[in-house]
């Protein structure tokens, strides 16, 4: 386990030496939401394969890079291409970048993702502020010997998504004329989409959206005391709600069609982050 910390230190040292300073906010760009990176000025793009000990993206055609630069007047780092459990990665790999951000000293994380709508009041193209999550079906990323240097054995998750940042996000949405829903994000491991019965069960448990990322990253961020804000893009209605099959193409297409709305909301939020 000390080995993990040493590996992280090497990654952090590399990034510190080649970047301008410490970003205020790390932003994880979900599938189809990568265009936000185009708004980052003075971009310094670092492919994952150039970063010591950083995991490599396994999926052909998927970009993997960290982008350092200014979004408005904030120095940020955006992560284009994340690591999913369904790709076969261990949880330690899935959450590695978050630990790197934490060890760099970054105190704020904005997570975004594409998700299926479980709440039948939602429609594809909606944006949802994540109020809380359900993740207990999956392996906890903190399983194993605790990394005491990073955080406590039993971290609190009672307010995983920072309440003041939620309020700020809702205010920003209102200012930008964007209808921002809010709800509970439920994590499923994938890669198959869920069955209609699973979606019905998740709805009964209180889920509003479902996706294959985010929860492990948020748990690890909270372990390190990083403040988290999460936004889902509802790219499709979850299985069984509409009488039609689910496809990855639908997810990517909706993601593309809301990219503009999504990136203006994110820019507004980053600009007013406090």
User: Within its chain, how far is the Cα of 45 from the centroid?
Assistant: 19
Interface with ligand HPA by CB under 6 A: which range of 20-28, 61-69, 101-109, 204-212?
Answer: 204-212
Q: Is 248 a catalytic residue?
A: yes
Measured from the CB atom, the residue of 31 and 182 that comes closer to ligand HPA is 31
235 belongs to the binding site for ligand HPA (CB under 6 A):
yes
Q: How far apart are CA 104 and CA 12, in angstroms?
A: 6
**Which run of H or E residues covers position 67?**
strand 65-71
Measured from the CB atom, the residue of 11 and 31 that comes closer to ligand HPA is 31
Among 202, 212, 224, 231, binds ligand HPA (CB under 6 A): 212
Provide the minimum distance between the beta carbon of 123 and ligand HPA in the complex, in angstroms, as a whole number: 13
Residue 191, preceding bond cis, omega within 30 degrees? yes
122 belongs to the binding site for ligand HPA (CB under 6 A):
no
Interface with ligand HPA by CB under 6 A: which range of 101-109, 121-129, 160-168, 207-215?
Answer: 207-215
Q: Is 9 a catalytic residue?
A: no
- Nearest-5° Cα angle at 105, 100 to 111: 60
Among 27, 238, 265, 269, binds ligand HPA (CB under 6 A): 238
Q: Is 212 a catalytic residue?
A: yes
Q: How far apart are CA 60 and CA 57, in angstroms?
A: 8
Q: Give the DSSP letter string of 178-217.
A: --EEEEEEEE---SSPPPHHHHHHHHHHT-SEEESSSHHH
Tell me the helices (H) and strands (E) count for the chain, helix number first. Answer: 7, 9
How far are the Cα atoms of 49, 82, 132, 169, 267 from residue 187, in angstroms, in the given order? 28, 15, 11, 22, 26
Residues 265 and 232 sit within 8 Å (Cβ to Cβ):
no
Q: Is 213 a catalytic residue?
A: yes
Interface with ligand HPA by CB under 6 A: which range of 34-42, 102-110, 230-238, 265-273?
Answer: 230-238
- Angle 96-104/215-223 helices, nearest 10 degrees? 30
Q: Which entry of 50, 62, 159, 197 is annotated as an active-site residue? A: 62
Among 124, 236, 265, 269, binds ligand HPA (CB under 6 A): 236
Q: Is 84 a catalytic residue?
A: yes
Range 42-70 burial, b when 16+ CB lie within 10 A, else e:
eeeebebeebeebbebeeeeeebbbbbbb
Interface with ligand HPA by CB under 6 A: which range of 114-122, 125-133, 161-169, 215-223?
Answer: 114-122
Measured from the CB atom, the residue of 64 and 116 that comes closer to ligand HPA is 116
Residue nearest to ligand HPA (CB): 116
Interface with ligand HPA by CB under 6 A: which range of 52-60, 110-118, 144-152, 165-173?
Answer: 110-118
User: Quick one: which of 97, 98, 101 has its CA closest to 24?
Assistant: 101
Q: Which entry of 9, 45, 63, 87 is annotated as an active-site residue? A: 87
**Total residues interacting with ligand HPA, rule: CB under 6 A:** 14
Q: Is 133 a catalytic residue?
A: no
> Catalytic site residues?
31, 62, 84, 86-87, 114, 212-213, 236, 248
| Contact residues: ligand HPA, CB under 6 A | 114-116, 188, 193-194, 210-212, 235-236, 238, 246, 251
């Amino acid at each position: 386990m000390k080995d993990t910390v040493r590996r992280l230190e090497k990654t952090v040292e590399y990034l510190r030496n080649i970047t301008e300073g410490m970003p205020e906010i790390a932003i994880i760009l979900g599938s189809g939401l990568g265009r936000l990176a185009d708004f980052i000025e003075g971009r310094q793009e670092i492919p994952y394969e150039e970063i010591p000990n950083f995991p490599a993206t396994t999926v052909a055609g998927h970009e993997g890079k960290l982008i350092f630069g200014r979004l408005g007047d904030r120095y940020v780092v955006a992560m284009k291409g994340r690591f999913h459990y369904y790709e076969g990665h261990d949880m330690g790999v899935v959450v590695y970048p978050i630990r790197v951000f934490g060890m760099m000293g970054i105190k704020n994380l904005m997570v975004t993702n594409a998700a299926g709508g479980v709440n039948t009041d939602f429609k594809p193209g909606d944006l949802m502020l994540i109020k809380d999550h359900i993740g207990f079906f999956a392996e906890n990323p903190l399983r194993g010997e605790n990394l005491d240097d990073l955080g406590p054995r039993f971290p609190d998750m009672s307010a995983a998504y920072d309440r003041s940042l939620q309020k700020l996000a809702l205010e920003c949405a209102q200012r930008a004329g964007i209808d921002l829903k809010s709800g509970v994000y439920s994590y499923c491991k994938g890669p198959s989409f869920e069955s209609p019965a699973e979606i019905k069960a998740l709805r009964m448990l209180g889920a509003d959206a479902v996706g294959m990322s985010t929860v492990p990253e948020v748990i690890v961020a909270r372990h390190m005391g990083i403040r988290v804000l999460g936004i889902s893009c509802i790219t499709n209605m979850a299985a069984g709600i509409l009488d039609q099959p689910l496809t990855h193409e639908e997810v990517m297409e909706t993601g593309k069609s809301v990219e503009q709305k999504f990136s203006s909301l994110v820019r507004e939020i980053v600009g007013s982050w406090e």
